[in-house]
């Protein structure tokens, strides 16, 4: 009997989403601090190429910073950036994010500011 696998049509579903800063106060980020968004996926995500998984970070008064998602450990993924790094717009205020996760089959999901933690950027 031949069995055929059905194609993957389900989008990935990020869980355990959290955002922190390397600052002594994990909910505050100033120049030189590293902001990390971390989450788990039930399946491998696309992390290279033009349609890779990414996170857009922004504050109410700034432009967007688009950071690619990178694998960390197994199905744990991260997106990080350094506050005040050249090339990034100046951020000031409560940081929000939009996470776009794409699996290897090309299915995608977009999640907005849902998870634990918050980071306020103050230059």
The whole-model pTM stands at 0.86
- Residue 4 is assigned to a structural domain of this protein: no
Q: Which domain holds residue 88?
A: 15-117
Q: Which CATH number covers residue 43?
A: 2.60.40
**Do 97 and 55 form a contact (C-beta atoms < 8 A)?**
yes
Which residue carries 């069995």 as its tokens? 3
At 77-118, the pLDDT tens digits run 999 999 987 667 678 889 989 999 999 998 999 887 666 788
- Residue 76 is assigned to a structural domain of this protein: yes
- Residue 6 is assigned to a structural domain of this protein: no
Burial-class residue 103 by CB neighbours within 10 Å (0-12, 13-18, 19+).
Answer: buried
Could you give the percent of the chain with pLDDT greater than 90? Answer: 50
- Residue 65 is assigned to a structural domain of this protein: yes
At 18-72, the pLDDT tens digits run 999 999 999 999 999 999 999 999 999 989 887 889 999 988 877 788 999 999 9
A 10 A CB-CB count for 116 gives: 10
What's the DSSP call for residue 25? S
- Residue 5 is assigned to a structural domain of this protein: no
Could you give the percent of the chain with pLDDT greater than 70? Answer: 89
C-alpha distance from residue 62 to each of 33, 55, 92, 96, 97 (Å): 18, 15, 7, 11, 12
CA 13-61-112 angle, 5° bins: 10
- CA dist 28 and 119 (Å) reads 5
Which residue carries 């998870």 as its tokens? 115
Q: How many domains would you assign to the chain?
A: 1
- Residue 7 is assigned to a structural domain of this protein: no
């Amino acid at each position: 009997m031949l069995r055929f696998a059905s194609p993957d049509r389900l989008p990935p579903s990020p869980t355990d989403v959290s955002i922190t800063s390397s600052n002594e106060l994990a909910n505050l980020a100033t120049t030189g601090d590293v902001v990390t968004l971390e989450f788990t996926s039930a399946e491998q995500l696309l992390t290279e190429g033009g349609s890779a998984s990414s996170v857009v970070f922004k504050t109410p008064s700034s432009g967007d910073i688009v950071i690619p998602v990178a694998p960390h450990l197994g199905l744990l993924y991260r997106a990080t950036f350094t506050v005040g790094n050249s090339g990034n717009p100046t951020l000031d205020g409560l940081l929000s994010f939009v996470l776009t996760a794409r699996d290897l089959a090309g299915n995608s999901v977009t999640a907005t500011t849902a998870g634990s933690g918050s980071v306020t950027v103050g230059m």
